[in-house]
Homo-oligomer: A and B are copies of this chain.
Amino acid sequence: MYFASDNSAPVHPKIMEGLARANNGYASGYGNDATTRQAQAMIRELFEAPEAAVYFVATGTAANALALASHIAPWQGIYCHPLAHIEEDECGAPEFYAGGAKLVLIDGKDGKMDPANLRHRIENTGNVGVHNIQRGAVSITNVTEAGTVYNLNEIQALTAIAREYKLPVHLDGARFANAMVALGCTPAEMTWKSGIDVVSFGGTKNGCMGVEAVIIFDPAKAWEFELRRKRGGHLCSKNRFLAAQMEAYLTDGLWVRLAKHANAMGSLLATGLEKIESVTFQHPQQANMLFCGWPRAGHELAQAAGSMYYPWPAEYPETGPADEFLTARLVTSWASTPQDVDKFLELIAHTG
C-alpha cells in the first residue's frame, strides 16, 4: 500500500536490462556515443520532430530549470500555476538558473491555469517600460500538480495566448506518459502540434532510474541549452547510461504500458474511494495522482496497517474541522497492484 510517490517505486526490470546492455566496452563521454544517438533518434521519431534537439538529464528539476532558462532572460517572468512544481517544489531552481527571473502565478481551478487570468497577467507585464519585469515564457504542467490533466483544447487555449504575445511555452512533463495515455493522443499532439516549444519529458516517475529528456523543437536554442547544462553540472560523462534508460523506456511501448497501468490503478483507487461516503475528492482523478480527504480515524487505521502516503495541505476549500477531516495525496505507479489498492480501500471503507 505504497502511495507516497511514483518516484519511490523501483526501477522497471526492462530499464535495468537496458543499463546492462549499454555497459558494453568503452564509449566516448558526454553524449558522444551510440546509445545517446539512438535514444535521441527514438524521441525525434516518436515526437515526429526530426529537427528537435534532445538532451538527457538526471532530474526533473534540472530539466525544467535548464529548459526555462534557455528560453527567457533574467528580467522576464515565467507564467505558471501556483501549484506548479517549479513554484512549489524546486527550491527556486528556475530563478537560480534563469539569473533571477520571476515566477508569475496564474491561478485556475484544479491545478490548471485559467486562460483569462493568463491573458490578464501578460497584458499587465512589461507594459510600463523597464520598470517591471518583462514578458517571458509560459510553463504548463501536465499531469498537473492537482492530479488533473489538461486536454488538448485546454493546452491550446493557453498556447494560443502565448503565441499572440510571441512567448515560448514550456511543458513540465514529469508525468508526460500519464497525461498522454489519459488523453489518448500522440506525443506530437500533446506538444508541438498544440503549441508547445520545449518539453521536460519525464522518465523517472514512470519506471526509470533517473532520466528526463529535454526536447527543444526549435534547435536554435540548442547550443545555449548545452552550455547551460554543462555549466549547471548536468552533463554526465557516462551519458550513455542516461540514454540507455530512455532507450529501454521507449522500446516496444514500455513507457505507454507502464503509464496505462499506473493510471488504471489510479482509477481503481478513485472508483473505490468514491463509493465510500466519508471520502471527499479535492480534484477529479484523471491520471495516477489523487487528492481526497476522509476522517482522521481512517487515516489512523490506514497508517497503522502500513499505508504510505502524504497528507496534503488542502489550502483552498476547507471541507471540515482540521482535526477531523484530513486530505491525502495518493499516487499510484507502474508498480502498484490491484491487491494493494483493494486492501487500502478496505481499510478506508472500514471507518467510512
Which residue numbers of A lie inside 8 Å of B, CB to CB?
2, 4-5, 7-11, 16, 19-20, 23-30, 57-66, 73-75, 88-93, 95-103, 124, 129-134, 204-205, 209-210, 224, 226-238, 241, 308, 313, 315, 335
How distant is the Cα of A11 from the Cα of B22 in the complex, in angstroms?
Answer: 10
Do B132 and A231 touch (CB < 8 A)? no
Do B91 and A130 touch (CB < 8 A)? yes
> Which residues on B sit within 8 Å (CB–CB) of A92?
74-75, 100-102, 133, 231
CB distance from A281 to the nearest CB of B (A): 22
Do A204 and B102 touch (CB < 8 A)? no
> Which residues on B sit within 8 Å (CB–CB) of A65?
233
How distant is the Cα of A5 from the Cα of B27 in the complex, in angstroms?
Answer: 10
Do B96 and A132 touch (CB < 8 A)? no
The SS class assigned to the A binding surface is: loop
A-B contact pairs, 27 of them (CB 8 A): A4-B26, A8-B29, A9-B26, A11-B23, A11-B238, A11-B241, A30-B129, A58-B236, A59-B233, A60-B237, A61-B233, A74-B231, A75-B231, A88-B132, A89-B131, A90-B230, A91-B231, A95-B95, A95-B101, A96-B99, A98-B100, A100-B101, A124-B313, A134-B227, A204-B238, A210-B236, A210-B237
Do A130 and B8 touch (CB < 8 A)? no
CB distance from A83 to the nearest CB of B (A): 12
CB distance from A139 to the nearest CB of B (A): 15
Most interface-central of A7, A101, A229 (chain B CB within 10 A):
A7
Do A93 and B58 touch (CB < 8 A)? no
Number of identical protomers: 4
How distant is the Cα of A61 from the Cα of B66 in the complex, in angstroms?
Answer: 16
Find A230's partner among B20, B30, B91, B236 (CB 8 Å cutoff).
B91
- Known contacts A74-B92, A75-B92, A100-B95; A204/B2 CB under 8 A: no
> Which residues on B sit within 8 Å (CB–CB) of A129?
30
How distant is the Cα of A204 from the Cα of B241 in the complex, in angstroms?
Answer: 12
> Which residues on B sit within 8 Å (CB–CB) of A88?
131-132
Which A-B residue pairs are the 9 nearest by beta carbons? Answer: A62-B233, A95-B100, A7-B237, A61-B233, A130-B230, A91-B230, A96-B100, A91-B231, A2-B26
How distant is the Cα of A97 from the Cα of B88 in the complex, in angstroms?
Answer: 21
> Which residues on B sit within 8 Å (CB–CB) of A63?
233
Do B7 and A231 touch (CB < 8 A)? no
Do A210 and B233 touch (CB < 8 A)? no
Do A7 and B29 touch (CB < 8 A)? yes
Find A235's partner among B61, B73, B231 (CB 8 Å cutoff).
B61
Closest to A85 in B: B131
> Which residues on B sit within 8 Å (CB–CB) of A5?
29, 237
CB distance from A219 to the nearest CB of B (A): 15
How distant is the Cα of A74 from the Cα of B93 in the complex, in angstroms?
Answer: 10
Find A232's partner among B95, B103, B133, B232 (CB 8 Å cutoff).
B232
- Known contacts A9-B26, A100-B99, A100-B100; A91/B131 CB under 8 A: yes
Closest to A77 in B: B92
